[in-house]
Amino acid sequence: MALQLIVTNFIRAFLAPFEENSDKLKMLTVSFCKGLEEIELSATNLTTLEVFGDRTNFNIVFSDVPNLQNVLCQKPCTSSFPDDLFKQFENAAPQLQSLILSSTTRLLKYIPSSIATFGNLKQLEFIFYSGNEPYNIWKIIPVLIACPLLQIFNLTIRLGIHLYDAVNIEERTMKEIQKYHYSRLKEVEIGGFQGTETQLALALYFLKNAVELERMVISSCFWEYLTSSKRTYH
């Protein structure tokens, strides 16, 4: 019998009784748990992990999750997130197929320029909430290149209400962007689109480099996830 565990607004000690059933755990949702400092996962049959947090000082440690396929992680950015998460996926979650990361645009500062290959990742999604400091959206490119089997990519940037706000927090310096033929990428969706120079350049980048692209959606709407399988539009 498969076990699904949803933990909401509880302290860390609440999880202790479930450790003995970890081999049955298939899906784990941890949502805004007070006092949480670290999630250490050792669940050999876990396939889906959803983490929703509003604190910067809790860590996620993957000890033994060989069958983990779907991850939704919504948490504030730190200097070690998302780099530490990417490094752990390389060894601990080789079967990862879907990754959804939601954080502030500050996260873009900490995406490393070199990332280990995600050999099985087919769906990647970033949801960024704009802060009050400039950001460089092109920092996502190394992550895309690290996913040779990527088929679906979704990007949402929730910026200010007015176009002026969007333009003034995007970094205008355009460095040489690495060209790459995304041979498996078939769907691209860009949400929160406000028609800035950078956003237009990003859309053109995918049109030129995703050689098998079948569908592109560009929308001013943005979306949020309630669960990894349910999202709401705004």
Residue 5 falls inside a structural domain: no
Question: CA-to-CA distance for 201 and 207, rounded, in angstroms?
Answer: 10
Instruction: Report the range of poorest mean pLDDT among 59-73, 93-107, 161-175, 194-208.
Output: 161-175
pLDDT band at 17 (very low <50, low <70, confident <90, very high): very low
Residue 124 falls inside a structural domain: yes
65: pLDDT strictly greater than 70: yes
Hey, how many other C-beta atoms are within 10 angstroms of the C-beta on 107?
24
Per the structure, the count of domains in the chain is 1
Residue 182 falls inside a structural domain: yes
Characterise 173 by phi-psi region: left (phi > 0), alpha (psi -120 to 50), beta (else): beta
- pTM assigned to the model: 0.85
Residue 30 falls inside a structural domain: yes
**How many degrees, rounded to 5, is the angle at CA 67 between CA 65 and CA 39?**
30
Residue 112 falls inside a structural domain: yes
Mean pLDDT of the 204-216 span: 96
Backbone φ and ψ for 18, nearest 5 degrees, come out as -95, -5
Hey, how many other C-beta atoms are within 10 angstroms of the C-beta on 115?
19
Residue 196 falls inside a structural domain: yes
Q: Which of 137, 214, 139 is nearest to 183 (CA)?
A: 214
109: pLDDT strictly greater than 90: no
Residue 218 falls inside a structural domain: yes
Q: Which residue range is the domain that position 200 belongs to?
A: 25-35+46-233
Question: CA-to-CA distance for 86 and 171, rounded, in angstroms?
Answer: 25
> What mean pLDDT, rounded, does the chain reach?
80
Contact 128, 158 (CB under 8 A): yes
Residue 102 falls inside a structural domain: yes
